[in-house]
Structure 1
């Protein structure tokens, strides 16, 4: 059989892929993983007791604005890397916007705060555990994304793993906001971001092994 005939035979009965199939698959994986992480926060760690009051203040929405913006940008990158034809990532620069905005808020905090209080504002009360909690909460979401990738066709496996880890870390940080009482922008910029970077690193390390197809 000639090569052209073989290709025509193999492709003759292939069902069409549904529109937005990648987005739906990733959404399911994200939702399942996020539900597990949220359950852990609510049942094991506990929702902060003043959350209803906190939701009327700027710091709570500052944290959510930062983590959700990163999560959306990372999800866009993950969706691109889930396809086999990805060469150039689009909209990657979007992730710089929330970082720069939060850094600006942190700079204004430092200007308004006496230097003697800078260290306490930066470290807060939970800097030693915050990044590790974000990393731990990212793991169920990362597993959900790995499940999604099993039906997709990534070719840049390390980049796809890093993007999945970044997405998982950003969504995990969003979930963690329900528990975390810290209010400083420089705390969030440093320790939340460190947890997200740890999740990204884990994804980059183990992604190529788990995403092979």
Structure 2
């Protein structure tokens, strides 16, 4: 068989892929995983009793803006590396920007607070479980993104896993904020960030195994 004939026979049954199919699949995985995590937060942990009023306060908005911005930036990176022909991700440093801004807010917070409340601002009342809860809540979302990735054939597997893990961590931190009463910038930039970093680390570790094709 000639090479031209072989190529024609292999491509005879191929179907045209709808435009933005990769984005829709990733967003579907994100949505399904987020709904599962939301169910755990609502029915397993419970919402803050003062949630309607708290959501209108600046500290709560700050916390959500931080986790949402990290999640969105990581999701953009996830969509970028989902393609098998994805070029190197040269703008990944932008993810550091929300962290740097919140660190500045934390420094200002500590500078204007009395010395005897610094520890309370940093540790809050839930530092022991906060990071681990964020990391665990990210698992359903991470699973949804991995499901999407396995149909998209990424080639940069460790990068794809880390991006998916960070996106899942950002979404999980946002949903966990519906339960968590902590709103100190110092607390959030320490323990929420640690939870998201753990999620990204798990993604980088498991990515090459789960996404291999």
Query: What's the CA shift for 1:96?
Result: 1.9
1:179 corresponding residue in structure 2: 179
Query: What's the CA shift for 1:79?
Result: 0.8
Q: Output aligned runs, 1:58-207, within 5 Å.
A: 58-207=58-207
| Per-residue CA distance 1:81-118 (angstroms, 9 max, x = gap) | 11111232153232122112211211110111122221
Q: TM-score, normalised by structure 1?
A: 0.96
| Per-residue CA distance 1:52-93 (angstroms, 9 max, x = gap) | 111121111101100000011000111111111123215323
Query: What's the CA shift for 1:7?
Result: 2.4
In structure 1, C-alpha distance between the alignment counterparts of 2:149 and 2:129, rounded to whole Å: 30
| Per-residue CA distance 1:143-174 (angstroms, 9 max, x = gap) | 11111112111111111111111111110001
Q: TM-score, normalised by structure 2?
A: 0.96
In structure 2, C-alpha distance between the alignment counterparts of 1:4 and 1:161, rounded to whole Å: 37
| Per-residue CA distance 1:10-61 (angstroms, 9 max, x = gap) | 2244221111111100010000000010001000100000111111211111
Q: Output aligned runs, 1:10-21, within 5 Å.
A: 10-21=10-21
SS at match of 1:129: helix
Give the CA RMSD over aligned residues.
Answer: 1.2
In structure 1, C-alpha distance between the alignment counterparts of 2:127 and 2:159, rounded to whole Å: 29
In structure 2, C-alpha distance between the alignment counterparts of 1:20 and 1:132, rounded to whole Å: 34
Asked if structure 2 preserves the Cα contact closer than 8 Å seen for 1:82 and 1:160, the reply is yes
In structure 2, C-alpha distance between the alignment counterparts of 1:35 and 1:90, rounded to whole Å: 31
In structure 1, C-alpha distance between the alignment counterparts of 2:6 and 2:150, rounded to whole Å: 26
Query: What's the CA shift for 1:208?
Result: 1.0
| Per-residue CA distance 1:175-200 (angstroms, 9 max, x = gap) | 00000100110110010010001111
Asked if structure 2 preserves the Cα contact closer than 8 Å seen for 1:77 and 1:90, the reply is no
Runs of 4+ in 1 over 4 A off after TM superposition: none
Report how many aligned residue pairs link the two structures.
213
Of 132-141 and 91-100, deviating more is 91-100
Q: Please tell me whether residue 26 in structure 1 is matched to residue 29 in structure 2.
A: no
In structure 2, C-alpha distance between the alignment counterparts of 1:4 and 1:63, rounded to whole Å: 58
SS at match of 2:16: coil
**Unmatched tracts of structure 2, length 5 or more:** none
